[in-house]
Structure 1
Amino acid sequence: MMKKQLIMEKALELFAKQGFESTSIQQITEHCGISKGAFYLSFKSKDELILALIDYFMQQITSDIDYAVKNSKNENLLYIFYSELFHSLQKHVNFAKLLVKEQTQSFNDELFLKMRYYDCLTDRSISHLVDRLYGKEIEPLKYDLVFTIKGFINSYLSLFLFNHIPLDLDLLSKSLVDKTNLLAKHSSIPFFSKELKQILTESLDHELSKEELIELITQEIVEIEESVEKESLILLKQELLQPSFNPVIIRGLIENIRNHPHCKWISYLLRKHYHF
């Protein structure tokens, strides 16, 4: 296991018991069985570790949902979106509980900006989903539906966070598909003005540059051990620097790295870069 991954997993165990603020770096290093020097080789501070944890879990969820949706046919698209989302949330529910608790107790600007970034990614994904499902017919109500879908997600998320009851995620997903389709077909009064739409669109338009993507891949190549994923990353970096592969090969290389926990985010960004 990579040292950074070990630190994150062990730190999460302590954070879940004690919270972010009450857990010291000394406690983390003792729980990991490493020195403080080894900790600081991986993370500059506890705050950096916390942000890395947020990145890790949010990137896992975002990339899994994106892949499932983009590889689904339109007739099952909405169900797959809800199902994949709630299964991912259920899988990471302990971290989600911790994050909600800490957000209510902290006014950390970096934490706020980090969550805002992933919130914008969620808006963008749902916006593309609505485009695929309903097309131009729903254009005046598009952003109202985007925020309604987010509202459904946030409302039902409370069942995961505050209740200890078994949930039928298949039934939940089907129920939300039914509700979403009813709103899409029968809503008639939009809330979003032209100005509000413009502001929202601008917040969703930022894309990682090719240079930023190359830098991210370079960092990951250094950190992961020799493997098919590492070889694929090297080839993908070369392709970004000097394009020569056809789309089939590029897709195959991205597929090679998709299930590696430290490459999921890169596979997500590469799919967006190549419009796969």
Structure 2
Amino acid sequence: MMKKQLIMEKALELFATQGFDATTVQQITDYCGISKGAFYLSFKSKDELIIAIIDHFMMRFTADIDHVVRSTNDNLLYEFYHATFRSFHEHFAFAKILMKEQSHSFNKDFFLKMRYYDTLINRTILMLIERLYGKSIEPIKYDLIFSIKGFMHTFSQLFLFSSSPQDLHLLSQSLVEKTNLLAKQVTIPFISKDLFEILKQPINEEITKEQLIGMVEEKLADIEEPIAKESLILLKQQLLDPTLSPAIVKGLLENIRNHPECKWISYLLRNYFEF
């Protein structure tokens, strides 16, 4: 296991029981069995470690639900909810501290980072709504974004406050019914397009082709699995000289999507190639 990954995993265990503020770098290094010097070779500060943990999990979550929305044709709304709560269940410790810390964190970097991912999730949910309902709910689609996010947040708390296992199938079915009822019955919109634009975190930088090539090269240096590695090589070539058919590019993206270290680059490439 890479040292940075070890530190993040061990720190997450401490954060889950003690919270961000109460956990010190000394406690983290003691728990990892490393020196402070080794810690600071990986992270400049505890805040940088926290942001790295947020990126690690939120990149995966954002990429996973985006893939579901873009690629699923049957039972799209069900698959969206099921993927959401399955991810929450799989990363329970992270989700628990995230929900706890968001309610009282005054760290500017933490706040801006979460708003950044919130904006990406809003985009994905808007795509979901437009795929599901088309122009028929144009006046209320921004309200529906906030309703769906409310379902995601509120029902996620069942995992925190209940010790019994949750039926993800039934939960997803129930939320599909609730969402469809809202889409059909709501007639008085509150969130306008202008208000939606004001509320979202602006994403000032679009990822350039050159930046993507650099990110692919970084992944190539770390990845050993042959299919993922070969797929990344071909995707890099496609960025440099786009000669492959869309079907082949989609297949290459699918090859890397499920690799735990490639979810984010897969998400970025999928958006770049407009799939």
Equivalent AA in structure 1 for residue 31 of structure 2 = H
CA drift at 1:205:
8.9
Query: Which residue pairs with 1:126 in the alignment?
Result: 125
Equivalent AA in structure 1 for residue 29 of structure 2 = T
Q: 2:233 & 2:36 partners in 1: Cα distance?
A: 32
Q: 2:233 & 2:205 partners in 1: Cα distance?
A: 26
Q: Could you say if the C-alpha distance between residues 98 and 218 of structure 1 is closer, same or farther in structure 2, counting changes exceeding 3 Å?
A: same
SS at match of 1:234: helix
Q: 2:204 & 2:223 partners in 1: Cα distance?
A: 31
Q: Deviations over 1:118-145 (max 9, x none)?
A: 1111111110000001001111111111
Query: Which residue pairs with 2:256 in the alignment?
Result: 257
CA drift at 1:30:
3.1
Any conservation in 2 of the 1:210–1:240 contact (CA below 8 Å)? yes
Q: Which moved more, 1:19-28 or 1:253-262?
A: 19-28
CA drift at 1:226:
6.2
Q: Could you say if the C-alpha distance between residues 195 and 61 of structure 1 is closer, same or farther in structure 2, counting changes exceeding 3 Å?
A: closer
Q: Could you say if the C-alpha distance between residues 179 and 26 of structure 1 is closer, same or farther in structure 2, counting changes exceeding 3 Å?
A: same
Equivalent AA in structure 2 for residue 157 of structure 1 = S
Q: Could you say if the C-alpha distance between residues 205 and 35 of structure 1 is closer, same or farther in structure 2, counting changes exceeding 3 Å?
A: closer
Q: Which moved more, 1:118-127 or 1:43-52?
A: 43-52
Q: Over aligned residue pairs, what C-alpha RMSD do you find?
A: 2.3
Q: How does 1:154-193 map to 2 (within 5 A)?
A: 154-193=153-192
Q: Deviations over 1:78-116 (max 9, x none)?
A: 111111111111111221111222233420000001110
Any conservation in 2 of the 1:2–1:224 contact (CA below 8 Å)? no
Q: Could you say if the C-alpha distance between residues 237 and 144 of structure 1 is closer, same or farther in structure 2, counting changes exceeding 3 Å?
A: same
User: Unaligned regions of 5+ residues in structure 2, if any?
Assistant: none
Any conservation in 1 of the 2:13–2:93 contact (CA below 8 Å)? no
Equivalent AA in structure 2 for residue 232 of structure 1 = S
Q: Could you say if the C-alpha distance between residues 58 and 132 of structure 1 is closer, same or farther in structure 2, counting changes exceeding 3 Å?
A: same
Any conservation in 2 of the 1:221–1:230 contact (CA below 8 Å)? yes
SS at match of 2:259: coil
CA drift at 1:253:
2.1
Q: 2:88 & 2:41 partners in 1: Cα distance?
A: 31
Query: Which residue pairs with 1:15 in the alignment?
Result: 15
Q: 1:3 & 1:257 partners in 2: Cα distance?
A: 23
Query: Which residue pairs with 2:103 in the alignment?
Result: 104
CA drift at 1:200:
5.8
Q: Could you say if the C-alpha distance between residues 26 and 255 of structure 1 is closer, same or farther in structure 2, counting changes exceeding 3 Å?
A: same
Q: Which moved more, 1:255-264 or 1:107-116?
A: 255-264
Q: 1:24 & 1:205 partners in 2: Cα distance?
A: 33
Q: Which moved more, 1:36-45 or 1:92-101?
A: 36-45
CA drift at 1:16:
2.0
Any conservation in 2 of the 1:121–1:204 contact (CA below 8 Å)? no
Percent of aligned positions that are identical: 62
Query: Which residue pairs with 1:35 in the alignment?
Result: 35
Q: Deviations over 1:157-197 (max 9, x none)?
A: 22122332322211111111111111111211111335325
SS at match of 2:264: helix
- Count of aligned pairs between the two proteins: 275
> What is the TM-score when the length of structure 1 is the normalising length?
0.90
Q: Could you say if the C-alpha distance between residues 168 and 103 of structure 1 is closer, same or farther in structure 2, counting changes exceeding 3 Å?
A: same
Q: Could you say if the C-alpha distance between residues 200 and 45 of structure 1 is closer, same or farther in structure 2, counting changes exceeding 3 Å?
A: closer
Q: Could you say if the C-alpha distance between residues 146 and 106 of structure 1 is closer, same or farther in structure 2, counting changes exceeding 3 Å?
A: closer
Q: 1:271 & 1:17 partners in 2: Cα distance?
A: 37
Query: Which residue pairs with 1:209 in the alignment?
Result: 208
Q: 1:202 & 1:26 partners in 2: Cα distance?
A: 34
CA drift at 1:155:
1.7
Q: Could you say if the C-alpha distance between residues 257 and 37 of structure 1 is closer, same or farther in structure 2, counting changes exceeding 3 Å?
A: farther
Q: Could you say if the C-alpha distance between residues 108 and 205 of structure 1 is closer, same or farther in structure 2, counting changes exceeding 3 Å?
A: closer
Equivalent AA in structure 2 for residue 234 of structure 1 = I
Equivalent AA in structure 2 for residue 271 of structure 1 = R
Any conservation in 2 of the 1:152–1:176 contact (CA below 8 Å)? yes
> What is the TM-score when the length of structure 2 is the normalising length?
0.90
Q: 1:193 & 1:17 partners in 2: Cα distance?
A: 40
